[in-house]
Amino acid sequence: QVQLVQSGADVRKPGASVKVSCKASGYIFTAYYLHWLRQAPGQGLEWMGWINPGSGSTLYAQNFQDGVTMTRDTSIGTVYMELSSLRSDDTAIYYCAREAPRQYFDSWGQGTLVTVSS
Amino acid sequence: QSALTQPPSVSGSRGQSVTISCTGTSSDIGSSNRVSWYQQSPGAAPRLIIYEVSNRPSGVPDRFSGSQSGNAASLTISGLQAEDEAAYYCSSYTSSSIYVFGTGTEVTVL
């Protein structure tokens, strides 16, 4: 079955960077785009962008174009999301999700809590 | 791209029906049938319950149904059950090839 397993919770100081991983299994890794979304405490879902695991191409939401980098390692079926110049309002649960061919998210990771605090 | 608009909360008694609206624009909901809905229980990741406006993945009860009219979509839960108490989010693929989500709706079962 499809599984997306994310790295564990992290605490960072303002100005630092964080890198979250998402390991995919149960399907052909390069066949589906993987997306990153986040959810601030008590807030809704915010789409951050996607990576094509096959080519490595990316598309970032306008709000994240200056601070996010998405990469992949095809040898281990894992994608990464790195967020730099962290601020307190980057405190959120970060999710990876698989995009089905008809533009919806059919599988989600369990989420990774990133806390930005001095 | 602005978030899609949903009511903050809806409630209903067990067995009743509730409908959640999701209002967008001609650039998102109105541009295609790529509307999906997600259920999120406290402390859990979102779960897909409706895709392409009105299709249910296997395992999703048929009391969940979706529809679309112009720039708005809606999710109806018929025969409300206690386990339906959760947050619900709509999402749309847009004409700019990006995604936008709704503001979220908390469903309370009285």
pLDDT in tens, chain A (118 residues): 999 999 999 999 999 999 999 999 999 999 999 999 999 999 999 999 999 999 999 999 999 998 999 999 999 999 999 999 999 999 999 999 999 988 899 999 999 999 999 9
Cβ contact B48–A61 (<8 Å): no
Q: CB-based contact (8 Å) between B48 and chain A?
A: yes
What torsion, rounded to 10 degrees, do the Cα atoms B107, B8, A41, A79 define?
80
- Show the low-confidence residues of chain B (pLDDT under 70): none
What's the gap in Å between the CA of A75 and the closest CA on chain B? 27
Distance CA B35, CA B66 (A): 9
Strand pairing class (A112-116; A10-12): parallel
Residue of chain B whose Cα is closest to the Cα of A4: B45
Q: What is the DSSP letter of B3?
A: P
Q: CB-based contact (8 Å) between A106 and chain B?
A: yes
Residues in A touching B3 (Cβ below 8 Å): 44
| pLDDT at residue A102, rounded to an integer | 85
